[in-house]
Amino acid sequence: LGTSIIALTFDGGVILGADSRTSTGNYIANRASDKITPLCDNVYTLRSGSASDTQAIAGYVQHFIAQHQAEEGDQVTVKTVANLVKMMAYNNKDFMQAGLIVAGFDKHGGGQVYSISLGGTVTATPFAMSGSGSTYINGFCDKYWRENMSEQDAMEFITRALRYAMTWDASSGGCIRTVTITAAGVKRQFIQGSQIPPTYGELPRQQVVA
Amino acid sequence: MSIFSYNGAAIVAMAGKECVAIGSDLRFGVQMQTITCDTPKVFKIHDKLYLGLSGLLTDAQTLHQKLMFRHNLYKLREERDMKPSTFGHMLSNALYERRFGPYFAAPVVAGLEPDGTPFLCGMDTIGAIETAKDFMITGTSPESLYGMCESMWRPDMEPDELFETVAQCLMSGFDRDALAGWGAVIHVITKDKVISRTLKTRMD
């Protein structure tokens, strides 16, 4: 999964965003894949790395969290889900290649983002990016991210960041999918490739002739 | 990692009614990182002869420079431009000279012979030449490009139709290739002019 994934907290919840390209080598196997997977009603995960490894982890976590939720009788906290994902990644670290970002909303901590990297490290941060495309937007995100943005600003920030990542990283592309999680619930959005504003290449330049 | 997919390219050439068209994508990248979007892989040799080179870009550029040199000398001696068929065979010979240390480039030659008939040929990295009457492709996703060209090519297309067909085959072909794309340039060669058009495409 060469990928660009990003999640950030805003004033009232979290937004998760991802591109939609799955490539095997340089062939684009799926140009409209969905890398945002629900783990429970209020917690979603963004998947990067090996597609099969991340799908397997998500499957196990969905199962165990459903059991845990039944026992709790209440909304599961984002931290619990993140820890469970970490256990999967850490205990199988020799066999896995999975970088996941777990993000969600619970009434105790509000919107939270946890990044789980290759070996099983969990880091709680206000925003997180992962995948091969994230390297190209480190500078951009450091400059333009602000704490407690409005939902609209956060959405614009994510689409802009992903758009740059998709332009520069060959293994990211397609369309932008986002999921917004707030106290009110979950909202999925989809931005077609043709609706993504252009970046490099649209600037006026000299006619290219051999 | 294959040396042929280090940079990435997509090149399509097609023959029509007394015209040929050749186009390439514009991406220059190093493995998965894209560096620029204004690097064509099709080079002009003379008014009626264009050369497309896929594979390792440094070898493509060097081969182009060496061939320009040989063509310039030829023009001084013969006082005329080289015929496309002659050029194709010269290129094949130049590649085979380096049989055991080859240029990592796969060329496509597209041009009009002096009598106006289209000429298309392609080669592998060590110069095995094959001529075609319909189309020739090369690049990092040959399967996608072959599929598009086989379905879309028809005989005796006029220059405008030919441009549309090459454009659609090239774009749909490289939209499934992570290493090619980011714009395209297509040259349509007819007996009195060459029309070059740059296409705006998906930039991912």
| Alpha-carbon span B165 to B181, nearest angstrom | 17
Q: Is B156 helix (H, G, I), strand (E, B) or coil?
A: coil
Name every chain B residue with its beta carbon within 8 A of the beta carbon of A169. Answer: 32-34
Kind plus residue range of the DSSP H or E element containing B196: strand B194-199
Q: Residue A204: what pLDDT?
A: 45
Q: Do A2 and A21 form a contact (C-beta atoms < 8 A)? A: yes
B6 and B27 in contact (C-beta within 8 Å)?
Answer: no
Angle between helix A78-91 and A51-72 (nearest 10): 140
DSSP-based three-state secondary structure for A122: strand
Scan for tokens 């960041």, then name that residue. Answer: A161
In angstroms, the CA A155 to CA A60 distance is: 30
Collapsed DSSP state (helix, strand, coil) of residue B139: strand
Contact B204 A25 (CB under 8 A): no
User: Do B185 and A209 lie within an 8 Å CB cutoff?
Assistant: yes
**The pLDDT of residue A200:** 62
Q: What are the structure tokens assigned to B171, written together?
A: 């774009």
Q: What is the pLDDT of residue A194?
A: 79
Looking at residue A81, what is its pLDDT? 96
Q: Is A173 on the interface with B (CB under 8 A)?
A: yes
- pTM (2 decimals)? 0.86
Per-residue model confidence (pLDDT) at position B160 = 96
Please report residues of A whose CB lies closer than 8 A to that of B37. 200-201
pLDDT tens for chain B, residues 1 to 204: 799 999 999 999 999 999 999 999 999 999 999 999 889 999 999 999 999 999 999 999 999 999 999 999 999 999 999 999 999 999 999 999 999 999 999 999 999 999 999 999 999 999 999 999 999 999 999 999 999 999 999 999 999 999 999 999 999 999 999 999 999 999 999 999 999 999 988 888
Catalytic site residue A178? no
Catalytic residue among A3, A37, A45, A182, which? A3
Q: Does B110 touch chain A (CB under 8 A)?
A: no
pLDDT along chain A (210 residues), means of 10: 90 94 90 94 94 94 95 91 96 93 94 94 94 92 91 93 92 94 94 78 51
Joined together, the tokens standing for residue B194 give 């060459």
